[in-house]
Chain A
């Protein structure tokens, strides 16, 4: 059986992380294991795991190093982790982003006050920028489609990626959307595409408010492309729902 690692700290954020991992597990056909990276077992972390009756262990070491090493296990198919770090000086989601940038497996980043449903039903897949970058989410789309989740894709162009050409508006959007879905959502015939132009962060959050997804999915670049992560960082900061980061290259 494959595993989702619920990486919890010894804070109140542990509970929603485990809860979200439990919701994600059926998507992957996986079970959840709780992991707390610390020298001493944390009571809150352990209690969160116990509350959901999942296996739990405490592993000493540097959190990022430990989690990356866990990702090397073939049966680990994804992670759930809290949005906030207990390290006060760290930026929002620094551990989550570090993990997402280091492993090829999806990382679900859970806000501390996330309101979670009884199960994941609707996924909003958000992408910004030129279409070439959208392929990074193809995996997530395929995964969600296989799990029979309702899929909405929002693609936001900003000033830098506005199309060069747009001939007859009555066909251009139609032709672009058809090709976009054929390229990036070939296995998800029911996916709905929401095209937007504007500031990517604002438009993605606006789409989120409009569509009420249970999960937001976004691409996250590996360490060699840090400049591409600005939108994700900002969305993570403000997203009301868990954000599934999908590694990109």
Chain B
């Protein structure tokens, strides 16, 4: 924030008055008007705290925007928000305090005007006038927070529209330009609202905002900036009739609400909403509905066109209602659209911005010393947060709310890769993901029963009903029709549901869930495994005929990954039952039986080599080091070498055994990571987009900083550089979850373990520092990792474990210093 003495000719989101005199007595309602218009106001003046009560009474401040008052000569601090005076204990330099408070509401330095001894009333009136005349907010994201896409690339526009997807957990809309561009049409979808049946089930496309009728100028193009900090998409386009500026967001504060302001050369006229192609559409005045097989999506719109100095301004508010089972009532959407219009653009922007800032407060990861990676990481975290609802149930498809690819089907990706980030940063969203599984437990029980098993058999691909929707065959890139066996054989998904349950409980300490639906999930998945194993004459337990994460080999017997996660599942369920109260869904005898089965399960570990054999017979396959036959890595080895060749060779699609070291390290032999990494890494093609992030995490744990960084960088570029050629169909959400896991589990070494937070950093020399924010058992924990110092903070007492040291962190925190071997507690 730079202090100036005259007011620049533009709109600001916050104004800070630094006054040598007390707050002006005669603001004449201008302060209340400014706050009502969504402007944040702060005052640093002699004794404002003493004047606050008088000021608030005289101005009748009751707005949702924020007023900050700081004493320039004392510790007084006052925050007024939602019409209430909030307690604050912070002191320190007043402008720094104000900067932090504004930042926490999504307002950065570029959006803040700091004025010294300025005429307060005039400034406020001028800023209010800019809002009354519908000026667009400026865009200048803070470093590391802006995804800037310049120019118009006809072939790349669909990818850009995906990269700039705006979503609120319930609704996703593409970031295609607001003006006419037939090469990148708009789209919308609502989580969990599907059309079709069986394998053909897909996310239902919803109505969209009609594009403005002007075409991009051939020599003009378009520039878009997605502000990741606030979830606002800014666009400047040069069209055949002149420049068009727009600002859009999908309100995080009010899910299902799209807010748009566009400034163009003339009244765009024409329709405001467009129905999706091929959908069963109904419409009425100001609304359109698309019906799916059972549910549907309704969008209702309000719009206002007002004159502006360089044309007109269009404010368009769209309220979406989606329901998986019934077509929503258009009246509900219409009423909400009117409510949005009543709030107005500026207040909706202010509350949306604040909601995003609040999410980042608990989730940001900061990397000192690698700006490109920093942006890639924030890009991933942004879309992870945007893709998952935090109430009800969250059906998180492979591409989230960013595209139709993979038809919105829910894979193990969501439980294994996406959920941990949310469990550790925004538990309600992780809980909603688990609720999706809980509500489909009956289908999983029925599936197991039909297959002659007990317990719950969750599907490889899930959609609305909870029954498997995996296709049975498909054409591959060589044009061959190939059988798809994952639906029948990739059973480790059952254990991943249990793993996700435990991950959530371990991070949150949610006892109600752990005793209730969480316990039910653990018990029913354990029952499945107990009924799935076969015991041989020697008493060893086996799981025959499965597919592991390495899908190049199918079917296989005793896949180490499947057997070990099943073993973990059985033991974790037994632990839970034994710790449960009377009335648990399983008894102690059953728990003992699970332990017996778990102990008998073979895992392929060879104590001589300390390597787990990926499945029975893997070591007899052709030894093949993929780098020696591939022109580059990663590579889809099944396409390069053919399915038959890879099936007969030691070449992996992605981490399989090694995933055990990442997901259930307590279930593998201590010290076995390095030998297994040495054995499997040269055999891994990384042909799955999940692979680079996992190997980044594993390499970090093994102390291979260079390998870890290289893999992490690739993971962050998969969508940004469209490395798969399919990003236009949606973002690779699991990869994004993997990016966070690589940072949190891999580099920072964070793990919840027995009610403590374990921290075991591996900071690459190329970085100056790494900072993470997580929530652990309800506490806000900050982790700052440097080469010589480790700093932990928490707003409440949190037990931590660092390098053999047990301690409790709270308040200003604990400092650990680098010792000869590991860390030592300093304070």
Chain A residues close to B by CB (< 8 Å): 131, 135, 138, 157, 159-160, 162-176, 178-180, 182-184, 186, 194-198
Contact = CB atoms under 8 A, between A and B. Distances in A.
Nearest to B730: A175
A163 B636 contact: yes
B725 A179 contact: yes
Contact of A184 (B155, B398, B405): B155
Contacts of B729: 175, 178-179
B358 to A, nearest CB: 33
Contacts of B479: 194-196
Main secondary structure of the interface of B (DSSP, over half): loop
Nearest to B405: A175
A159 B158 contact: no
9 contacts: A159-B640, A163-B724, A164-B632, A169-B476, A175-B406, A175-B726, A183-B158, A186-B154, A195-B479
Interface stretch (B255-263, B298-306, B443-451, B467-475): B467-475
A197 B484 contact: no
A180 B182 CA distance: 15
A186 B183 contact: yes
Contact of A195 (B154, B478, B690, B718): B478
B688 A167 contact: yes
A171 B158 CA distance: 18
B728 interface: yes
Nearest to B474: A170
Interface string B731-752: 0000000000000000000000
A55 B411 CA distance: 66
B414 to A, nearest CB: 14
Interface string B398-428: 1000000111000100000000000000000
Contact of B634 (A165, A183, A195): A165
Interface string B701-728: 0000000000000000010000111101
Nearest to A183: B155
A184 B477 CA distance: 18
B631 interface: yes
Interface in B108-160: 154-155, 158
A163 B486 CA distance: 21
A159 B631 contact: yes
B196 to A, nearest CB: 14
From A171, A176, A184, A198, residue with most partner B Cβ within 10 Å: A171
A160 B158 contact: no
A176 B477 contact: yes
A173 B398 CA distance: 15
B151 to A, nearest CB: 15
A168 B482 CA distance: 12
Interface string B146-180: 00000000110010000000000000000000000
Contact of A164 (B398, B474, B478, B634): B634
A128 B251 CA distance: 44
Contact of A163 (B183, B470, B477, B484): B477
Nearest to B406: A171
Most buried by B among A159, A164, A198: A164
Contacts of A175: 405-406, 726, 729
A59 to B, nearest CB: 36
B489 interface: no
B556 interface: no
Contacts of B95: none
B548 interface: no
Contacts of B723: 164-165
A168 B686 CA distance: 13
Contact of B639 (A163, A179, A194): A163
Q: Most chain-B CB neighbours within 10 Å: which of A170, A180, A184, A186?
A: A170
